[in-house]
């Protein structure tokens, strides 16, 4: 037969193989692919987690003096209406507190950041007329936020020397800020903790009055004295001279020497009525650094500290930026650090990203080698080389494609490649195994046999590849935060499958020819013996089901047996032998304590409670170091970004950042340690009435809290009451911990109200009264020192001495100047009203809401089971005379009736599994359409897809056996298995049809298909399972590995029996009815 005759009978795969079989360009294509892979490894940014384009912004709108209800009505609601009209906005949250409205505008995931923020700015500034000009509402301050606001590095500066104060450390930190900003790739540099330097002007009201002066005189004198300007030029002696009018205040002494008035003809200096000092301001936060028992460098202790955090620019390599920042830290020690000052790197996400990448790349290499070794033992040395080159080339080009897609090298993208190893090698194994088989026939030359062998499996291989892609690719369209988080898996795996198909048809045949062109197939006799054994094995097993007399009965028994196994497997979920959860806990080296004292707690008391909690934490043997933050927030992570921990700046709020030893140096996982920490701090938290939440880094997209109940209704005061009742049910539910809500403790408020009639009669304005009280208590920055050596502006602050601020009498003794120049004591024009501070009013999507939050810790560690228990209790507990109506997947239909919407991890879980279910369904439909197109039958595809439910028999018992939770990655593995198993079915059915068309009986063809195709099916299944073994120990993706390993193991074994038998039964029945049975 001539080459042209052979070509005319070859399909597309055979023609491609022949075209590249002896082409000089083939090795160049393979080499180019390898070089592209090396390029991708070098240039692709490395990060620990995928970059999720989640854009949101905080909008701060001040309304000084207004009540919370007034802020809600006049500011928050109009602003929400403006924002809700912006395209791309998903949710609008707001908090209306006395004097301030804070809106959080959350855009849909994937919304371009710049476009979203521009639309937000346009909406606000084109609707400025929505608020009356003279209402007293300030300009909106818009603060965009995104994933790149999370610091990649934080360093804590501390000292054991008690003479070195937090203010001294802050001065060092400010000096370092500019240097760190010069590091390429850095973005936001933030300093946390420490009191800033100020010039404090502590005035004495009695001394002021004795000179006939009021606070307004000090204010005007300080502001007027600190003025300077370029006044122009003059020409003198034929030269132009610049003229500056006035000089700035440059020292505290100059401030003290200011003349603020004249009394009895003598000047009155500021120092005569006030104490002027330069020094640290009254602390509004405290930061300490603690050394734990696991520290190898220092003895345990706790010292004042300052933390510097550094974020990176978008698209920068986290590893490179972090390394450069830490190197600069070390360089600056000898320049900026005096003796006795230390620094510790307390966060290095670059190092964790690099470690994760290196670990996964090693696993990828080992997974690849294991597949090559598998082929080595199954087919031979040269065949293993061919498969190895094909896999390496496929991975290299896939890495380049991943970079081109815009993915970074992170744990998910690398897991996608490891997970894909088994299916990427399938095409090469099937092609190599069939060439190996054809070569053993010995009736054609190798150059003739290779295209025929490739063509024989080419059609089903192409179809099988596209069925796997059809199963995986729809997952790329999962919505919400989980979509972009998991997207590298379907995109990289699908891209890799296409590349592996091309490599199998182009590179694999060429390399096989090169390696075998001078070799005879010595294993032909061995192959024949091996085939005979397999044929005998399958003939023995399958004959009872193919027997004309008893086969039908046996097939019915087989069907019921399989259905029973599926039922038992699903029952494992019902009986909680397999726990359902969004994502399992990762094994991190950090967690956080978020502490909320009752509203009104002074900063010093919050600081004291944090120290007591830190004492408890020091009992953790794995503790390396920790940092306490009172009145401010720790450097945020992605979880803190979404939960907006960066807004935690009240005196009753605190954080403790806990850093543990490396996971390789400890026996317990971080989740176990966090559970232990919760036990250790329980008594201290109860003693001080502190609400303490142990917050672990979520393994995936974060939420407000794992358990969130949103209470809706018409009366906000009543909503608060209902929320308290729901919170009580949370606390009574087993395994529900860290219960909190958005209600606030009653906080006393004093109102110095103005007697307007009296004030008018005495010629005193209410504006002056309010300004003087504000300056006396809060302090007022009247001006600034002009110190060219200062890294931050040094304000000149006017205020009462700290000892006088707690005295009501001191305020009432303040004198304000009337229009006639008389000094009028505030006690003459004000009176005291004692009230309770307004509750903050929360909204979600324009509706008033009260949140109740909790976490799950215990037997299941899954919020879904706590939610189910609470929901059951609520359905039986009357609130306002009837059980509250609960909504799970949609917002309440009637906002004027009492109702509750479940949110938190449940919402993300529902959306993710809903979208994955849809993706699974779409994938099955696409697989069906592909198989229909190939086999031109509506029934045959149903037979080919029949093994898909068989995966359940392996997946669920596998999870139960290993104690693994069924998670989103488990579902991904389950979806991928649909394509893999269908691939096996296609190979079997296609071969049965080929053999039957060659004249063999249906029974012989069926047995022959199982015997011949069992080798490539088993090889590809074991290859995929071996890839799964390398991710089995991962805390997050272990579920995916379990699904792959156990699902493939069971379904492959059953497929080799079920598919041939079912197809035989279908064809036998069809041919019997048509009279075609031979």
| Contacts of 719 by beta carbon, 8 Å cutoff, 6+ apart | 711, 712, 713, 848, 849, 850
Question: Is residue 111's pLDDT more than 90?
Answer: no
Residue 949 near residue 519, CB atoms below 8 Å: no
Contact 945, 927 (CB under 8 A): yes
Tokens matching residue 456: 């024989």
| Distances, alpha carbon 257 to alpha carbons 169, 253, 260, 775, 786, in Å | 30, 6, 9, 21, 16
Q: Percentage of residues in the chain with pLDDT exceeding 70?
A: 97
Q: Is the pLDDT of residue 978 over 50?
A: yes
**CA atoms of 765 and 754, how far apart (whole Å):** 10
Max Cα distance, the chain (Å) = 131
Q: Where residue 525 falls among pLDDT bands split at 50, 70, 90?
A: very low
**CATH architecture of structural domain 55-145:** 2-Layer Sandwich (3.30)
Query: What's the CA gap between 928 and 133, in Å, rounded?
Result: 65
The 10 Å CB-count burial string (b at 16+, else e) for 1024-1060 is bbbbbbbbbebbbbbbbbbbbbbbbbbbbebbbbbbb
- pLDDT tens-digit series, residues 226-238: 888 888 888 888 8
Q: What is the distance between the alpha carbons of residues 352 and 355, in angstroms, rounded to a whole number?
A: 5
**Residue 1055, phi then psi, degrees to nearest 5:** -60, -40
Closest CA to 441 of 524, 530, 533, 523: 524
Retrieve residue 883's tokens. 């059980």
* 721 within 8 A of 658, measured Cβ to Cβ: no
* DSSP-assigned letter for residue 1033: T
The C-alpha atoms of residue 326 and residue 324 are separated, in whole angstroms, by: 6
Q: pLDDT tens digit string along 769-817? A: 998 888 888 889 999 998 887 888 899 999 998 888 878 888 888 899 8
Output the pLDDT for position 981: 84
CB 144 within 8 A of CB 291: no
The two tokens of residue 1067 are 């064809």
Tokens standing for residue 470: 């059809």
Alpha-carbon gap, residue 155 to 35, rounded angstroms:
39
User: Which of 208, 200, 61 lies closest to 143 in space, CA to CA?
Assistant: 61
Average pLDDT score over residue span 142-156: 92
- Residue 782 sits at φ, ψ, to 5 deg, of -75, -40
Segment 158-211, tens digit of pLDDT: 999 999 999 999 999 999 998 999 999 999 999 999 999 999 999 988 898 889
Residue (of 444, 169, 135) closest to 286 by Cα position: 169
305 Cβ contact list (under 8 Å, min separation 6): 156, 157, 158, 166, 169, 193, 287, 288, 289, 627
pLDDT at 520 over 60: no
Q: How far is it, in rounded angstroms, from Cα 511 to Cα 109? A: 45
Q: How confident is the model at residue 44 (pLDDT cuts 50, 70, 90)?
A: confident
CB count, 10 Å around CB of 141? Answer: 11
Q: Tell me if residue 273 falls in helix, strand or coil.
A: helix
Q: In 3-state terms, what secondary structure has residue 320?
A: helix
pLDDT for the residue 464: 81
Tokens of 858: 């215990």
pLDDT tens for residues 1012-1071? 888 888 888 888 888 888 888 888 888 989 999 999 899 888 888 888 888 888 888 887
pLDDT at residue number 401: 92
Please say whether the beta carbons of 829 and 754 come within 8 A. Answer: yes
CB-based contact 167:197 (threshold 8 Å): yes
| Helix (H/G/I), strand (E/B), else coil: 479 | coil
Pick from 441, 418, 421, 439: nearest CA to 429: 421
Q: Which fold has domain 148-196+292-348+585-698?
A: Alpha-Beta Plaits (3.30.70)
- The first and second tokens of residue 70, run together, are 């007034």
| Multiple choice CATH, 197-280+748-836, 3.20.20.20, 3.40.50.360, 3.40.50.150, 3.30.2090.10 | 3.30.2090.10
CA 377 remoteness from chain centre: 43
Give the span between the Cα atoms of 709 and 741, in whole angstroms. Answer: 9
Q: 3-43+379-582+910-1074 and 55-145 share one CATH topology?
A: no
State the Cα–Cα distance between residues 927 and 936, nearest whole angstrom: 13
770 vs 773: CA distance, rounded Å: 5
Alpha helix positions (H), 146-204:
166-181
d(CA 591, CA 624): 12
Which among 659, 562, 505 is positioned nearest to 10, based on CA atoms?
505
Helix or strand holding residue 319 (H, E): helix 318-336
Instruction: Report yes or no: 463 and 931 within 8 Å, Cβ to Cβ.
Output: yes
Model pLDDT, residue 348: 94
Report the alpha-carbon distance of residue 555 to residue 553 in Å, rounded: 5
Q: What is the pLDDT of residue 1077?
A: 52
Q: Could you read off the pLDDT of 47-81 as tens digits, one per residue?
A: 877 777 788 999 999 999 899 999 999 999 999 99
Spatial separation of the C-alpha atoms in residues 285 and 279, rounded to whole Å: 16
Return the structure tokens found at 750.
């004093």
Q: Does residue 1078 have a pLDDT over 80?
A: no
DSSP character at residue 307: E
- Identify the pLDDT of residue 358: 86
Q: Reduce the DSSP state of residue 811 to 3 states and report it.
A: helix
Q: Tell me: the pLDDT tens digits for 807-821?
A: 888 888 889 988 888
- Out of 92-101, 291-300, 327-336, 829-838, the most confident range is 92-101
Q: Read off the tokens for 438.
A: 């054809």
Does pLDDT of 935 surpass 70?
yes
pLDDT of residue 315: 82
Query: Which of 563, 573, 558 lies closest to 957, judged by CA?
Result: 573
785 strand-pairing partners: 794
Residue 357 contacts by C-beta under 8 Å, 6 or more apart in sequence? 46, 319, 409, 410, 414
DSSP for 29-93 reads HHHHHHHHHHHHHHHS-B-SSPPP---EEEEEEE-TT--HHHHIIIIIHHHHHHHHTSTTEEEEE
Taking 60 as the threshold, does the pLDDT of residue 7 lie above it?
Answer: no
Q: So what's the pLDDT on residue 442? A: 63
What is the rounded average pLDDT for all residues in the chain? 88
User: What's domain 3-43+379-582+910-1074's superfamily in CATH?
Assistant: Multidrug efflux transporter AcrB transmembrane domain (1.20.1640.10)
CB 451 within 8 A of CB 88: no
Boundaries of every domain in the chain: 3-43+379-582+910-1074, 55-145, 148-196+292-348+585-698, 197-280+748-836
Distance CA 498, CA 500 (A): 5
């Amino acid at each position: 037969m001539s080459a042209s005759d052979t070509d005319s009978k070859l399909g597309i795969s055979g023609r491609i193989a022949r075209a590249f079989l002896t082409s000089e360009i083939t090795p160049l294509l393979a080499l180019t692919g390898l070089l592209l892979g090396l390029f991708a490894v070098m240039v692709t940014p490395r990060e620990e987690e995928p970059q999720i384009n989640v854009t949101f912004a905080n909008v701060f709108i001040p309304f000084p003096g207004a009540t919370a209800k007034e802020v809600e009505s006049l500011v928050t609601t109009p602003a929400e209406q403006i924002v809700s009209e912006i395209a791309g906005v998903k949710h609008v949250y707001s908090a209306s507190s006395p004097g301030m409205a804070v809106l959080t505008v959350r855009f849909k995931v994937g919304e371009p950041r710049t476009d979203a923020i521009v639309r937000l700015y346009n909406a606000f500034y084109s609707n400025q007329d929505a608020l009356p000009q003279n209402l007293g509402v300030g300009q909106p301050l818009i603060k965009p936020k995104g994933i790149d606001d999370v610091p990649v590095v934080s360093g804590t500066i501390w000292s054991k020397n008690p003479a070195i104060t937090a203010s001294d450390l802050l001065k060092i930190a400010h000096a370092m800020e500019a240097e760190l900003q010069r590091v390429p790739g850095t973005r936001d540099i933030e300093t946390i903790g420490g009191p800033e330097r100020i010039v404090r002007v502590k005035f004495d009201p009695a001394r002021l009055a004795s000179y006939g002066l009021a606070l307004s005189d000090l204010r005007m004198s300080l502001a007027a004295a600190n003025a300077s300007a370029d006044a122009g030029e003059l020409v003198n002696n034929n030269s132009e001279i610049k003229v500056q009018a006035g000089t700035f205040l440059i020292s505290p002494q100059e401030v003290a020497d200011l003349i603020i008035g004249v009394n009895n003809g003598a000047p009155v200096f500021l120092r005569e009525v006030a104490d002027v000092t330069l020094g640290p301001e009254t602390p509004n936060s405290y930061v300490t650094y603690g050394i734990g028992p696991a520290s190898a460098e220092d003895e345990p202790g706790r010292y004042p500290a300052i933390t510097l955090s550094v974020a990176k620019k978008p698209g920068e390599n986290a590893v490179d930026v972090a390394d450069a920042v830490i190197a600069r830290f070390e360089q600056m020690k000898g320049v900026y650090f005096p003796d006795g000052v230390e620094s510790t790197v307390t966060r290095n996400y670059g190092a964790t990203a690099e470690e994760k990448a290196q670990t996964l790349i090693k696993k990828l290499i080992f997974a690849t080698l294991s597949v090559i070794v598998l082929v080595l033992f199954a087919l031979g040395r040269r065949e293993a080389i061919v498969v190895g080159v094909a896999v390496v080339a496929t991975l290299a080009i896939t890495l380049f494609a991943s970079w081109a897609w815009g993915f970074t090298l992170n744990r998910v993208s690398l897991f996608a490649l490891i997970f894909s190893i088994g299916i990427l090698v399938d095409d090469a194994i099937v092609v190599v195994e069939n060439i190996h088989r054809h070569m053993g026939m010995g009736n054609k030359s190798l150059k003739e046999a290779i295209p025929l062998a490739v063509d024989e499996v080419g059609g089903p291989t192409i179809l099988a590849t596209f069925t796997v892609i059809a199963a995986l690719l729809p997952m790329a369209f999962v919505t919400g935060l989980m979509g972009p988080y998991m997207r590298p898996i379907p995109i990289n795996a699908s891209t890799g499958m296409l590349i592996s198909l091309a490599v199998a048809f182009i590179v694999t045949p060429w390399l096989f020819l090169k390696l075998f062109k001078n070799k005879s197939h010595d294993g032909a006799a061995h192959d024949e013996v091996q085939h005979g054994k397999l044929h005998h094995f399958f003939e023995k097993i399958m004959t009872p089901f193919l027997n004309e007399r008893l086969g039908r009965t046996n097939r019915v028994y087989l069907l019921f047996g399989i259905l029973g196994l599926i039922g038992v497997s699903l029952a494992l979920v019902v009986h909680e032998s397999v726990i359902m959860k969004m994502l399992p806990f990762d094994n991190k080296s950090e967690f956080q304590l978020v502490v909320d004292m009752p509203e009104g707690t002074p900063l010093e008391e919050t600081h004291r409670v944090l120290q007591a909690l830190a004492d408890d934490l020091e009992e953790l043997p794995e503790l390396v170091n920790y940092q306490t933050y009172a009145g401010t927030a720790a450097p945020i992570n992605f979880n803190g970004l979404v939960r907006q921990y960066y807004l935690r700046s009240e005196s009753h709020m605190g954080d403790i950042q806990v850093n543990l030893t490396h996971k390789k140096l400890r026996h317990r996982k971080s989740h176990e340690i966090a559970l232990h920490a919760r036990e250790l701090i329980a008594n201290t938290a109860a003693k001080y009435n502190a609400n303490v939440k142990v917050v672990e880094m979520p393994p995936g997209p974060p939420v407000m809290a794992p358990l969130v109940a949103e209470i809706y209704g018409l009366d906000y005061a009543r909503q608060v009451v209902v929320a308290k009742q729901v919170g009580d049910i949370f606390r009574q539910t087993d395994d529900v911990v860290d219960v909190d809500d958005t209600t606030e403790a009653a906080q006393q408020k004093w109102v110095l109200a103005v007697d307007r009639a009296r004030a008018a009669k005495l010629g005193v304005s209410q504006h002056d009264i309010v300004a003087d009280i504000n300056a006396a208590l809060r302090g007022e920055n009247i001006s600034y020192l002009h110190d060219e050596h200062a890294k931050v502006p040094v304000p000149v602050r006017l205020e009462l001495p700290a000892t006088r601020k707690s005295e009501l009498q001191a305020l009432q003794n303040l004198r304000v100047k009337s229009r006639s120049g008389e000094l009028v004591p505030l006690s003459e024009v004000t009176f005291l009203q004692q009230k309770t501070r307004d509750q903050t009013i929360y909204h979600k999507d324009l509706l008033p809401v009260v949140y109740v939050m909790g976490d799950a810790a215990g037997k299941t560690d899954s919020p879904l089971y706590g939610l189910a228990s609470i929901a059951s209790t609520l359905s039986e507990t009357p609130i306002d005379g009837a059980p509250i109506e609960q909504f799970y997947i949609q917002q309440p239909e009637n906002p004027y009736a009492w109702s509750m919407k479940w949110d938190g991890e449940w919402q993300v879980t529902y959306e993710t599994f809903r979208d994955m279910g849809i993706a699974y369904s779409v994938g099955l439909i696409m697989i069906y359409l592909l198989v229909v197109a190939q086999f031109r039958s509506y029934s045959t595809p149903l037979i080919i897809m029949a093994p898909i439910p068989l995966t359940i028999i392996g997946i669920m018992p596998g999870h139960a056996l290993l104690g693994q939770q069924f998670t989103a990655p488990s579902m991904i593995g389950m979806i991928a298995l649909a394509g893999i198993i269908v691939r096996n079915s296609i190979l079997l059915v296609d071969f049965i049809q080929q053999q039957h068309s060659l004249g063999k009986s249906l029974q012989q063809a069926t047995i022959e298909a199982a015997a011949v195709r069992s080798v490539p099916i088993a090889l590809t299944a074991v290859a995929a399972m071996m890839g799964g073994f390398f991710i089995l120990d991962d805390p997050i993706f272990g579920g995916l590995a379990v699904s792959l390993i156990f699902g493939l193991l069971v379904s492959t074994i059953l497929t080799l029996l079920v598919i041939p038998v079912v197809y035989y039964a279908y064809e036998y029945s069809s041919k019997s009815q048509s009279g075609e049975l031979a």
